[in-house]
Amino acid sequence: MSRPAAFLDRDGVLNIDRGYVHRPDQLEWVGNAPEAVLLLNRRGYLVFVVTNQSGIARGFFGRAAVDALHAHMQAELGRLGAHVDAFALCPHHPDFDGDCACRKPRPGMLLDLMAAWPVRREGSFLIGDKETDLEAACAAGLPGHLFPGGDLLAFVRGILGEGPGAD
């Protein structure tokens, strides 16, 4: 049975973007980000994280460090009863790897997730903090929402058309 999906950028949407965040001790959630993921879970959305991680291509850290951070994020979300269905990342950077189909603004990560999971396009959306995130959403045929920072739960409620007290 297909379900709508929420595609979330990581740095700047779920966690404070401090530049090349790749260790659990660097993780600081954006305001009410875990609660926003929980709300999406409760509303029946598949929740995906789609993140460019050029620090891998630059040699600042390896894929294992990012995977460990994502496992840590999943564990913290789990304490609240929330979860991310899948994390997708692009480890490339054009200066080091040439061109790829997965680095936003290209839609590769989104399209791969839509092919691998029972995603219903109707009702699906992306939340990002950069124009390249919105370009990837558009290229995948999805609406994109530019998150200005602040309270992610309130922002998600606005997208879902729910008031601040809804739960």
Residues with catalytic function: 9, 11
Here the tokens at position 1 are: 């049975």
* Residue type present at position 52: N
Report yes or no: 19 and 29 within 8 Å, Cβ to Cβ: no
Largest CA distance in the chain: 47
- Measured CA to CA, the distance from residue 50 to residue 65 in angstroms comes to 16
Here the tokens at position 24 are: 């659990």
List of residues 6+ apart from 19 with CB closer than 8 A:
none
